[in-house]
Chains A and B, each alone.
Chain A
Amino acid sequence: MNMVSHYKYVFQMQFLRNAGFFIFMALLQILISIGIVIGFSYLIPNPDTETILFLATGAPTIILIVAGMVILPQQIGTAKTDGYMEYMRTWPVNRSVILGADTTIWLLITLPGIIISSIVAHLMFTPGYDISWTVVPALLMIALTSIGVGYGFSYLLSPTASMGISQVVVFGALMFSPVNFPMDRLPEWLQSLHEVLPIYSMAEVMRASLAASTFDATMGNYINLMIWCVLGFGGAIFILNRK
């Protein structure tokens, strides 16, 4: 039997098993992303259009980071603890099919939040969106990097350790990463760290495709994402196949 039909059945199995949780998460993602745009405008008194645009184009990145590196690792932790992960490994399908089906589900969860929050931000603030065609590949690439890295560390580490990382990631991404504000506000050592970590590149690529006339992403950003994406998924497949 071919991989496509395997993919179909694995997708159905994984989706139906957790349908309630996934729908709840998609709703939560909508709230979080709208919250970032509106909430931060309270934090900053009289924000100018540029600040709003930073927030509005940063929110989708935050959503993708939360889904891939916070919620997904928690779910994998549960699957590891209750033995479901071990059970999946006995299925007569290629392991990358399982990973592919799960990744599709996570992509679908984030989409409503990204679309709705962008519409809300546009209607409330008209911050100057200028959506380029690159938004589709950019979104895909950022999502895959985030999901891939989430898989990588949650497969590699114990559920407790990966939960710890999740907590650091969510706090770090919101407060200490150049997602919702420009990089030059950060101290130098943090700037050099972000040149290596994927978060800054995710934010740059997202901004460049949502407001193409205001922001640019460098080739370095794309390469950075690609490397992290391969590392994450590669690590996850390696661990799924490990004996």
Chain B
Amino acid sequence: MILDIKGVTKVFRGKGESKNVANDNLTFTINEGEIFGLLGHNGAGKTTLVNQILGLLTPDHGDIHLLGESVTQSPARARSICSVQPQSQVSLGLLTPKQAVTLIGKMRMGKKFEPKRVEALFEALEMEAWANTEGEKLSGGVRRLTAFCMAVIAPGELVILDEPTNDVDPVRRSYLWQVIRDLTKYGSSVILVTHNVLEAEKAVDRVAIMDKGKILTQGDPSEVKSLVGDRMRIELSLEKEFKNIEVPDWALSPHQNGSRLIFSLDPAKVSDTIDWAKNQTDKGLVIDYSLSPTTIEDVYIELTSKKGAVS
């Protein structure tokens, strides 16, 4: 076991009596070579948890053990076990991606560091063209990729990636997932913090869904999906942002995001749903639709939208 988190609670106190329970009695473990997805809305408490694993914040209650030793007691050790890509952009100034990644590699490994690793990594992410461009002149996506490279060039036993795919183009995203999977082959474990649930689903071995400081559920993706039962989901693109499109009465937890309407359904209702969707398309209300098995996103939305009942 790499990481063992037991009953971690962190409360931030504001002015007067106000307080924000950022982490509320969290418990989970991460095994060697595992990719663990930490999913949740903005402000769910994911980054606070990461900062405690790194020893940058101390839990108010509970304990965090990295490779068997308490992080609170040896925070410096925690920083050498973990390598991190922060959520915010790393401002590189005049550093080129090659310089920045090489220096972090040396900082972590010293003389054992092989500069060739940098070239191989840049090649895997197809970013050689920018290797020697000053950081200030790079686009947001390339800077994000550079920060990713800085986290994985000399990976610790635990690699923590906080929203690594933000700003990155779809082609390089798939390269990036490949690099993440390769990390686990060499024994590193990965914590993947994200709100991009659909993308994470394909990559992670286990997930925890967080909301308002609590873990609502955790397990492998199929376990988590079974929470909403054996269901299908349909996603429709609406012609305009119809606020009052008539949703069939068998639709489960429908929600609309701009012109995108999603709801779950019982598999028995598949043909009725297709008829209904076709009908809506004929009326010109719907541009297109797609039917698929449930995803973690559905679980995520269902759990976080009925948070009153859970918490």
Contact = CB atoms under 8 A, between A and B. Distances in A.
A234 B138 CA distance: 37
A86 interface: yes
Chain A's interface size range is 20 to 34
Contacts of B103: 9, 12-13, 16
B79 interface: yes
Contacts of B291: none
B57 to A, nearest CB: 5
Contact of B56 (A1, A18, A243): A243
B107 A17 contact: no
Contacts of B259: none
Interface string A29-68: 0000000000000000000000000000000000000000
Contacts of B109: 1
A18 B107 contact: no
Contact of B94 (A9, A19, A94): A19
Contacts of B54: 90
Secondary structure dominating the interface of B: mixed
A206 interface: no
B181 interface: no
A92 B109 CA distance: 10
Nearest to A11: B103
A133 to B, nearest CB: 37
Contacts of B86: 83, 86-87, 90
A9 B99 CA distance: 11
B79 A18 contact: no
A86 B88 contact: yes
Interface string B104-130: 101111110000000000000000000
Interface string A1-32: 10001100110110011111100000000000
Nearest to B58: A243
Nearest to A78: B91
A189 interface: no
A240 to B, nearest CB: 10
B245 interface: no
Contacts of B222: none
A124 to B, nearest CB: 36
A1 B92 CA distance: 25
B110 A5 contact: yes
B79 A92 contact: yes
Interface string B48-91: 00000011111000000000000000011001101110101111
A171 interface: no
B95 interface: yes
A184 interface: no
Contact of A18 (B75, B84, B93, B111): B93
A84 interface: yes
Q: How large is the interface on B (under 10, 10 to 19, 20 to 34, 35 or more residues)?
A: 20 to 34
Contacts of B55: 243
Given A90-B79, A92-B80, A92-B107, A18 B94 contact: yes
Given A13-B103, A16-B99, A92 B90 contact: no
Given A9-B106, A13-B95, A16-B95, A90 B90 contact: no
Interface string A89-124: 111111000000000000000000000000000000
Given A90-B86, A92-B79, A243 B57 contact: yes
B77 to A, nearest CB: 9
B92 A83 contact: no
Interface string A148-180: 000000000000000000000000000000000
Given A5-B110, A9-B106, A10-B107, A90 B76 contact: no
A17 B75 CA distance: 26
Of B95, B104, B107, the most chain A CB neighbours within 10 A belong to B107
A188 interface: no
Interface of A: 1, 5-6, 9-10, 12-13, 16-21, 82-84, 86-87, 89-94, 243
Given A5-B111, A20-B94, A243-B57, 18 more contacts: A9-B106, A9-B107, A10-B107, A13-B100, A13-B103, A16-B99, A17-B100, A18-B93, A19-B94, A83-B86, A83-B90, A86-B86, A87-B86, A89-B56, A90-B56, A92-B107, A92-B108, A94-B76
